[in-house]
């Protein structure tokens, strides 16, 4: 990857439901991200009901070398604001084929099981993705919102390259998963990685004379070498601000302050 920083593309398609309100602006954000050296563009079959993947293809094909295009399947969208896990193997295969078509690629760089479906054996869900990888339709397999036991159960079926869980300076629910990924050298991809408000992050930002967002992201980058944040934004200005995180240097005392919250 060009950078450890990525871009979560959900916000580019009308909060995940339908096509973008301003298509030209959304295309600009994606192209600006690549120009700034972003290492991963993260989407899903359910973002915009497929419109998000189509937007990425429109903006970025031919895809620049070094930029990972990651997508997901395993969540259905029966209505606005509704997300329902759906992990039947035939559905995952169908959605993977549709993602290939919409992204206009022969193989997806990184394909996640978006959520584990409790009504389907995990081995069947992960096995469906392993079969797609064996066929050359996906390169790497990831999981989203899983604990350590689920991750290890999936790894008993096939290799897992990435875990995407909600994680930030003010939400440490998945600390154990991040520590496990660090030990096993598995990419950990925090979604919603910027706190809405965090006093410790704000204090450090004031000390450094920068905005809180890059401080929160810099803390994540310092947390472990396997961390690859994917902050989402529809604003080129916020995107540029987020991408400065790799140049923010936090002292041990500042990291400890954010750690304590």
User: What is the rounded CA–CA span in Å between residue 259 and residue 255?
Assistant: 6
Do 168 and 194 meet the contact criterion of CB atoms below 8 Å apart?
Answer: yes
Do 136 and 111 meet the contact criterion of CB atoms below 8 Å apart?
Answer: no
User: What is the rounded CA–CA span in Å between residue 87 and residue 63?
Assistant: 29
Residue 112 falls in the annotated catalytic set: no
User: What is the rounded CA–CA span in Å between residue 261 and residue 258?
Assistant: 5
Do 131 and 90 meet the contact criterion of CB atoms below 8 Å apart?
Answer: no
Do 10 and 16 meet the contact criterion of CB atoms below 8 Å apart?
Answer: yes
Indicate the Cα dihedral angle 194, 200, 202, 204, nearest 10°: -110
Distances (CA, A) of 18 to 13, 160, 231: 6, 31, 20
Tell me the HSE value of 240 on the side-chain side, using a 13 A CA sphere: 6
Omega before 62 within 30 of 0, i.e. cis: yes
User: What is the rounded CA–CA span in Å between residue 184 and residue 87?
Assistant: 26
What are the catalytic residues?
A: 47
């Amino acid at each position: 990857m060009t950078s450890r920083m990525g871009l979560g593309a959900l916000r580019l398609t009308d909060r995940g439901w339908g096509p973008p309100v301003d298509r030209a602006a959304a295309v600009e954000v994606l192209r600006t991200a690549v120009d700034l050296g972003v290492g991963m563009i993260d989407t899903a079959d359910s973002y915009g009901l497929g419109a998000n993947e189509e937007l990425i293809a429109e903006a970025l094909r031919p895809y620049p070398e070094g930029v990972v295009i990651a997508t997901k399947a395993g969540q259905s969208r029966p209505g606005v604001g509704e997300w329902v896990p759906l992990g039947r193997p035939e559905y995952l295969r169908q959605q993977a084929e549709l993602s290939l078509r919409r992204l206009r690629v022969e193989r997806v760089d990184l394909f996640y099981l978006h959520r584990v479906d409790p009504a389907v054996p995990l081995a069947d869900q992960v096995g469906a993705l392993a079969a797609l990888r064996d066929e050359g339709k996906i390169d790497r397999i990831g999981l989203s919102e899983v604990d350590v036991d689920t991750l290890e159960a999936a790894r008993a079926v096939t290799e897992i390259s990435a875990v995407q869980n909600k994680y930030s300076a003010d939400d440490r629910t998945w600390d154990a998963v991040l520590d496990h990924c660090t030990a096993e050298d598995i990419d950990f991809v925090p979604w919603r990685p910027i706190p809405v408000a965090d006093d410790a992050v704000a204090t450090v930002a004031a000390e450094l004379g920068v905005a809180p967002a890059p401080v929160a992201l810099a803390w994540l980058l310092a947390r472990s070498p396997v961390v690859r944040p994917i902050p989402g934004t529809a604003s080129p200005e916020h995107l540029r601000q987020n991408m400065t995180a790799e140049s923010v240097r936090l002292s041990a005392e500042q990291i400890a302050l954010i750690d304590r919250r």
